[in-house]
Amino acid sequence: MIFDPNVAYVILVVAFILEILALSAPGTGFLEFFAAGAMIAAGYVLFQLPINAWALIILVAGLTFFFIGLRQNQRRQQWLFLALSLFSFWGGSVLMFRSPSGGLAINLGLAGAVSVLAGGFMWFIFTKGIEAIHMPVLHTTPNVVGLEGMSLTRISQEGTVQAGGETWSARSSTPISAHSRVRVVARHGLTLDVEEIKD
């Protein structure tokens, strides 16, 4: 059973997806290790079978349709290219390998189900990633210049203040004792210039 090309085909597709996920979100290396091992094992079994090299053209076309679809703005065009991509993946998968008797090595129904599930999953991952990239920034660093706060430490060349609900590094041209009321007069990155508020 372990040498069944259908089983090896499923393992190969899963390994490919794991490799894509591992590359997009590197972790400890365990995911990459197991994905590479699965791909090597499945590839070894599958490449014992006669290969129709021309079927690679169909698979490449499927990838092309997939990424063209991701770039479309209209939902109808996206679905069209996704359908073309899935059909190409299915066709390329079943035509890539021949059984020793000369027939198809991969089950048609299995290839269809795997193509839809794998292609749909990758479509979801890529579209969500693209949406995240283009999502407007909802949180910006607050403008703290002019706010009043409290010195948490003594401030001279450096110190710490509480202002705008956050803790900041601070400096002052004149020494300020701890627990004094201060006003922010300028900001330089994550460091604030402050002055003491005299009562």
The arithmetic mean of pLDDT across residues 23-43, rounded, is 69
Q: Give the model's pLDDT for residue 194.
A: 93
pLDDT at site 2: 45
Task: Give CA–CA dist 1/94, Å, rounded.
Answer: 19
Tell me the per-residue pLDDT of 71-116, one tens digit each, with 9 for 90 and over.
Answer: 888 888 888 988 999 899 888 888 887 777 767 878 889 888 988 8
The mean pLDDT value for 26-48 works out to 70
Instruction: Quote the domain boundaries for residue 13.
Output: 5-134
Determine the Cα–Cα distance for residues 181 and 95; give it in Å rounded to an integer. Answer: 76
Around 59, how many Cα atoms within 13 Å sit in the side-chain half-sphere?
Answer: 14
Residue 142 lies in a domain: no
Same domain, 59 and 115: yes
CATH number at residue 167: 2.40.50.140
Q: 130 with 63, same domain?
A: yes
Whether residue 106 is found in the same domain as residue 179: no
Q: How many domains does the chain fold into?
A: 2
| Distances from the Cα of 178 to the Cα of 147, 159, 163, 190, angstroms | 18, 9, 14, 20
